[in-house]
Structure 1
Amino acid sequence: MNAQELSWYALWGAAALYAIAMVVSSIHLSRVADAKAAAKGKVPAAVGAARSREGSAPVSSASAAVPPAVRSQATGIARSTTLVGAILNGVGVAARGVEAGHAPWSTMYEYTITGSFVAAVVFLIVQSRRDVSYLAPGVTGFATIALGIGLTTLYQESTGLQPALQSFWLVIHVSIAIISTGVFIVAAVATVLQLMRDYRGEELAVVAEARHAAARLVRRWRNANVGTLKRWKWLEGVPEPATLEALAFRLHAVGFVLWTFTVMAGAVWAEHAWGRYWGWDPKEVWSFVIWVIYAAYLHARTTQGWAGRRSAVLALAGFVALIMNFTVVNLYFQGMHTYA
């Protein structure tokens, strides 16, 4: 088996394992939601019993733990398949580098397979420090789709590097860009969950209001949307929006620092390769736009008191710009960075 075949098989194996992890972690999230819903019904009785005992402390809803079977079986399978998938993903990237004879970051295909690997690794690192299993369906789902598109649509035979890419800056500039992209992917998953959790909480509040109010319109809205509320019941297994927002903010801050270095390193590399730091190339412009959006998000979040939905939408706008920079700009805009 040569390096090309090893890379191909390893990446397809990684995609399959990521897909399995996505399904299993989704099932786990649904079970956690059911367990929390069942625990909520038992908490009032427990509180009453606790208060009836002399010197005992009230029992809070946080004490209603998820059943061990839910945690050990589903979570174990999801973590194991994600870990093995990430290892195979890394093997596929390394084998591609051996096949190409250079760092495997010169085409959209190579960027995609490496970005998927980094996103999975970032998730596993965060998972090792705190329980973020609720991010697993989104991260592994994104990695599955990215690898599938890369292997079926973006794949290219390995070729030599163009003269402008034959520089040590390829390792520095592009590797940091890929790492920051992986961090932004995990942060975007947390932000999407934050918005979904926030909107569902608002919907449930409206339903609760409808139970006590006489407004016909509110009751009519409840009847029309009760099916939707049931379908999104799995969101009960996700932490509160404030917790998700805090996690997303930390990840975005790390990603922003890395992206700042990416833009700066790209400018230095451009001066070495083309004799100018800035040339209004489409890739350069969009990279700067991404930097501005994320800078605005961090500034508004920390100094202007923006929190909740407004800051989340701004963060997602930055992620959309990041995806457009990789897809639309690479495929439809001609410039100095058109290597794919």
Structure 2
Amino acid sequence: MTPDQSLLDLSDTLFSVSVALYSVALVAFCAELAFGRSRAARRELVAAGNGPAVDVSADAPADGAPRRAERLGVLGLGLTVLAALAHAGVLLFRGLAVDRLPWANMYEFATAVVLVAVVVYLVLAVRSPAVRHIGVFVLAPVVLGMVGIGLFLYVEGGPLIAALRSSWLAIHVSAAIIGFGIFLVSGIASVLYLIRQKDEQKPAEERGSGFVSRLPDSSVLDRLAHRTAVFGFPIWTFAVIAGAIWAESAWGRFWGWDPKETWSFIAWVVYAGYLHARTTAGWRGRPAAWVNVVGLAVMIFNLTFVNLVSSGLHSYADVG
């Protein structure tokens, strides 16, 4: 069928709208960090005689600043919701325009992965308000990723090529998108955990008073990274298995050590190692977090280098 150009144009417009909204939300989250109290300052409230509790920290914000920061954080969260809706519209209208699932090339695949990461963050931020304070560190790579996707991966919408006309596209690729998006949030949480935990180990007088002090406690970040990885791991496992079944149907073999297959399996091994490390004495904490960061690096390498530089059976689709 001939793609509906008006719907494709609407999808492209919504892509620009979502990038703009994410950017404004990022600014709001940055302002929240700038004007908000550090976690230590919020705890340094003492009773002054019989009067009301007052903040005695040296870096206490000016009157009204904490409330203003709170409003900015809520604004950032609201804008992120609006951006996610526009982001979902990018895929929805592109799919309607070409009458197929909208993740048959790298542009669509990467766009969907970023959307999953944003949705995961929003769900976590609603369930646990402390998580909202990592919004700037989630949206910064989201904005950079969306800009990069729009500049370097964009392709015109069109029908599926013959090799992708299979029900496994909905099963295998959908699972890969969801797993990747969840691991993206997990990896960011581990990076922030490493930064926060290093700061918490310093004597109180040597700890940072900037953005690090406004992050959730390291225990919260560690728990967030672990729980999201636990959730994403079986989905990624299913994606790898579904890909092998599709490969047998399409190419007559379950596994051929194609670069995409190989690096997907390497990512699976790294995340299995992370989950095991979390339960192993001597590997909990920073060592396990580093394994999770390596897992995220492998996933990004698999999406970018393996798709764009290496050659293999998956190269025709730029997805995997």
Q: Place the TM-score, normalised by the shorter chain, in its bin.
A: 0.7 to 0.9
Cα displacement (A) at 1:67: 7.6
Which has the higher mean CA deviation after the structures are superposed, 70-79 or 266-275?
A: 70-79
Partner-residue secondary structure (3-state), 1:2 = helix
Which of the two has higher C-alpha Rg?
A: 1
**Structure ranking higher in helix proportion:** 1
Is 1:309 aligned to residue 286 of structure 2? yes
Segments of structure 1 that go 5 or more residues without pairing to the other structure are: 51-60, 209-225
1:262 equivalent in structure 2: 239
CA contact (8 A) 2:178 2:235 kept: yes
Cα displacement (A) at 1:200: 2.3
CA–CA separation in structure 1 for the residues paired with 2:69 and 2:109: 34
| Mapping for residues 112-131 of structure 1, pairs under 5 Å | 112-131=110-129
* Sequence identity percentage: 38
TM-score of the aligned structures, taking structure 1 as reference length: 0.83
Letter in 2 for 1:287: S
Cα displacement (A) at 1:201: 2.7
CA–CA separation in structure 1 for the residues paired with 2:198 and 2:116: 30
CA–CA separation in structure 2 for the residues paired with 1:266 and 1:83: 32
CA deviations 1:191-220 (Å, max 9, x no partner) are: 111111122234x42965xxxxxxxxxxxx
Letter in 2 for 1:157: E
Cα displacement (A) at 1:303: 3.4
1:27 equivalent in structure 2: 31
1:156 equivalent in structure 2: 155
2:54 equivalent in structure 1: none
1:88 equivalent in structure 2: 86
CA deviations 1:197-245 (Å, max 9, x no partner) are: 122234x42965xxxxxxxxxxxxxxxxx9xx45xx1111112212210
CA deviations 1:137-175 (Å, max 9, x no partner) are: 122222211111111111011232222210011011111
CA deviations 1:279-332 (Å, max 9, x no partner) are: 110000000000000000101111345222111110000000000000000011
CA contact (8 A) 1:93 1:110 kept: yes
Cα displacement (A) at 1:19: 1.0
1:179 equivalent in structure 2: 178
CA–CA separation in structure 2 for the residues paired with 1:196 and 1:152: 31
Task: Give the count of matched residue pairs.
Answer: 302
Cα displacement (A) at 1:70: 3.9
Partner-residue secondary structure (3-state), 1:336 = coil
CA contact (8 A) 1:33 1:234 kept: no
TM-score of the aligned structures, taking structure 2 as reference length: 0.88
CA contact (8 A) 1:25 1:74 kept: yes
Segments of structure 2 that go 5 or more residues without pairing to the other structure are: 52-56
CA–CA separation in structure 2 for the residues paired with 1:150 and 1:162: 21
CA–CA separation in structure 1 for the residues paired with 2:284 and 2:26: 29
Partner-residue secondary structure (3-state), 2:36 = helix
Letter in 1 for 2:294: A
1:16 equivalent in structure 2: 20
